[in-house]
């Protein structure tokens, strides 16, 4: 094992947390682990965690599939943009924010995240995404479709947007702790 493969020590993580003065926003396709990794990242950095999708559902008093069905994707994306802006503006420093898969594709949302946060693109291969998204039935864009085709199309379509994030981390099929450690190291390098 290479020294670079060793996880950061608690002291190194604490020192890193003191250097971060804005939210870390996780972007990427559904199933890459934004929420799971985000919660673990927040725990490691001892800071708050927010899931934009949960905040949207709370504000709308509807589930995301219900919002999509009732109002369509454009209205959902507008609400998503406003919620993410509120989360970033009210962060008051370090906070981890997990976004929905399409959030970073919205030009206004992307510009806000790139200006006022640290954007981290969590990426994954299609087989891993398929395995992870099959665990939940609350993915409106996968309903009534061939999930492999849809995920492949979304991955190709959204790649140019996600690639604008200054940090790119692969979230492979394995323990999320490995991904968390990689994110921490990449954020430290970026600062």
Which residues of the chain fall below pLDDT 50? 1-2
Whole-number Å distance between alpha carbons of 52 and 50:
6
Whole-number Å distance between alpha carbons of 53 and 152:
22
User: In the structure encoding, which two tokens stand for residue 12, read together?
Assistant: 């190194």
Cβ–Cβ < 8 Å for 50, 95: yes
Q: What is the pLDDT of residues 126-174, one digit of tens each?
A: 999 988 887 766 565 666 678 889 999 999 999 999 999 999 999 988 7
pLDDT recorded at residue 3? 52
pLDDT recorded at residue 143? 67
pLDDT recorded at residue 118? 98
pLDDT recorded at residue 18? 96
∠ Cα 60 49 43 (to 5°): 155
10-184: CATH homologous superfamily?
P-loop containing nucleotide triphosphate hydrolases (3.40.50.300)
pTM of the model: 0.92
Whole-number Å distance between alpha carbons of 107 and 100:
14
Beta strand 24-27 pairing with 49-51: unpaired
């Amino acid at each position: 094992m290479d020294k670079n493969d060793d996880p950061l020590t608690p002291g190194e993580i604490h020192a890193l947390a003191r250097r971060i003065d804005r939210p870390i926003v996780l972007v990427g396709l559904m199933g890459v682990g934004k929420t799971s990794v985000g919660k673990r990242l927040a725990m490691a950095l001892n800071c708050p965690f927010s899931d934009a999708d949960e905040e949207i559902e709370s504000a709308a008093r509807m589930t995301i599939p219900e919002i999509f069905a009732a109002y369509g994707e454009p209205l959902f994306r507008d609400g998503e943009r406003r919620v993410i802006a509120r989360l970033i503006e009210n962060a008051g420093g370090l906070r981890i924010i997990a976004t929905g898969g399409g959030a970073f594709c919205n030009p206004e949302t992307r510009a806000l995240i790139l200006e006022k946060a640290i954007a981290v693109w969590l990426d994954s291969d299609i087989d891993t995404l398929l395995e992870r998204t099959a665990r939940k039935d609350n993915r409106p864009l996968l309903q009534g479709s061939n999930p492999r085709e849809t995920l492949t199309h979304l991955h190709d379509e959204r790649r140019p947007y996600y690639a604008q994030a200054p940090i790119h981390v692969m979230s492979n099929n394995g323990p999320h702790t490995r991904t968390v450690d990689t994110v921490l190291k990449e954020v430290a390098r970026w600062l």
